[in-house]
Structure 1
Amino acid sequence: MPTDHDRIALVTGASRGVGWGTATALRDAGWRVYGTSRRGTGPDGTIALAVDHADDSAVEAAFARILADTGRLDLLVNNAWASPRGFAGFTAKFYQRPVSDWDTLIGIGVRAHYVAAVQAAQIMVPQGSGLIASTSSFGGRGQLHSVLYGMGKVALDKMAYDMGAELAGTGVTAVSLWLGLIRTPLLLGSGLTEFAGFPVERAEDPEFVGRVIATLAADPGLGAYNGHTVVTAEYGAAHGITNNDGTTTPDSHRSAFGGGPLFPPATEELGQE
């Protein structure tokens, strides 16, 4: 297995939020990090690629570039997301929004993740190792934000579950990650102390998510997570991972959404409490 400075990661949607924080944390952990965004921007010290994830050929070209540069890929973080046209937040009900919302919330939020996973697996399976991690949320367990948002998150969980079954024995692992409330610059700048009933001070820094992914990728028991949904706050607590202040362990939202992971259906949960 390559050492950290030889390990290659691709983070999609790396221009802001979770993607930016994840790319930053992986860079700080010594990974060589590529990040995609429509404008080709990302954290300093990472390799930014201009990619529209609605364009399959552009996605294929990005993976070809990484393979040509490095000869391998050890981690894909599926995080690309796009807002529908005229979107001003999850305030309107599904019947008050245009059906074309599907094209971004499902077309980018799900299909683009699948396309990237296909490209990643075509590199990882021959090399016999790798992790495909897709950022999902508790919206797969209970109503959150909108109908299409919840549908998309359930789809990512099921995608990881079924990919895990087909990747069994290859050395490649697929997981879905349930993130909680994220302390984005926008949220921190809002002055809110809580959001949807969750305290902002106990939410997850974007870099926290990246540290969880880096630790998971290096976990000797990584293969046991294949096909599983992993709650980032709980995995972080079990492995001593904190927010940027070095002391705060973010809260899991499990109890607020009524139970354990959706996939796999069995009750066994790994690295979580």
Structure 2
Amino acid sequence: MNVTYDFAGKTAIVTGGSRGIGRGVATLLARSGADVWIWDADPAPADGIRSQTVDVTKAQDISTALGEVVARTGRVDILVNNAGYLGPYLGFEAFDPAEWQRIVGVNVIGTFEVTHQVLPVMRKAGNGRIVNMGSLAGKEGLPNLAVYSAASAGIIAFTKALSREVCDTDIRVNCVAPGPIDTDLIRRLGNEVVSDMVGASPLKRLGAVEEVAALVLWLCSDASSFNTGAVFDMSGGRARY
């Protein structure tokens, strides 16, 4: 069954939208009529989607890009905070501190920086949808992904707290927490790690980018008007709570 949405007249920003889940979300939003802007440190052009070079950890990059979006469209209706960095699959004791700083910088600080600048635009309009991409790791705490797990848990807590701060408006803030999805990010962990992930899944497969994108679009739509501060699993049954 195909579910369709009409986002005509809506402006959407998708961070980390050049590939993987972000690309899938941006593509589906554009197909549904939204004016989509990808913010990525390494943007990749796509038909019907505008791309800007943005390092989400740099406030000036965000300010410049947002200024262009608002100047051209006058609004931001949807923000999908998808930019992320997984880091190496490695025990914490062997971790290079520079790596954990990058993980926290991109995943947590990047989400803070982008939201801090986009939220006032939404608040002025009195409505909007923010979807933060977390991870199963943030709920379960996965070995060899300790720092990424901690960063993802931070995104979950941030989502819950921020949603309560904006509940006097029609701004809704939710989180999607995927398990292993079939992207280059996961495949780069190696065949053995991927095989273990599939084996641990009750559905015995990786998730598809399109499945995650479909959930994100629902959260961005008017159909999800009563959901805020919630965390939605996309784990193939792996999540235990």
How high is the TM-score relative to the length of structure 1? 0.77
Alignment partner of 1:81 is 2:84: yes
Report what 1:228 is aligned to: 230
Among residues 28, 31, 47, which one is paired with 1:28 in the alignment?
31
Q: Cα RMSD (Å) of the superposition?
A: 2.3
C-alpha distance in structure 2 between counterparts of 1:213 and 1:33, whole Å: 14
Question: After alignment, is 159-168 or 42-51 more displaced?
Answer: 42-51
1:163-203 per-position Cα deviation (integer Å, ceiling 9, x unaligned): 01101111111111111221225767987884412388743
Q: Give aligned pairs, total.
A: 231
Equivalent position of 1:237 in the other structure = none
Match of 1:181 in 2: 180
Residue identity matched to 1:214: L
Long gaps (5+) in structure 1: 234-250, 260-273
* Residues in 1 aligned to 2:227 and 2:126: alpha-carbon distance in whole angstroms: 16
Identity rate, percent: 24
Kindly indicate whether the alpha-carbon contact (under 8 Å) linking 1:120 and 1:132 is maintained by their aligned counterparts in 2: no
Amino acid of the structure 2 residue aligned with 1:122: P
Matched, 1:163 2:148: no
**1:103 corresponds to which residue?**
101
What does residue range 1-273 of structure 1 map to in structure 2 within 5 Å? 4-82=7-85, 89-90=88-89, 92-144=90-142, 145-184=144-183, 194-196=195-197, 197=199, 198=201, 202-222=205-225, 224-232=226-234, 251-254=236-239, 258-259=240-241
Write the distance in 1 (CA, Å) between the matches of 2:162 and 2:186.
Answer: 34
The answer to which structure has the higher helix fraction is: 2
**Contact 2:11–2:35 (CA under 8 A) maintained in structure 1:** yes
Contact 1:24–1:207 (8 Å) recurs in 2: no
Indicate the SS of the match to 1:6: coil
Deviation string, structure 1 residues 112-145 (Cα, Å, up to 9, x no partner): 0011111121110110111111111111222224
> Is the contact made by 2:180 and 2:186 (CA closer than 8 Å) also made in structure 1?
no
Residues 143 and 127 of structure 1: CA distance in aligned 2, closer, same or farther (over 3 Å): same
Q: SS at 1:160's partner residue?
A: helix
CA distance in 2, matches of 1:81, 1:230: 18
SS in 1 for 2:97: coil
Matched AA of 2:155: L
187 and 140 in structure 1: CA distance in 2 versus 1, 3 angstrom threshold: closer
Q: Residue 266 of structure 1 aligns with which residue? A: none
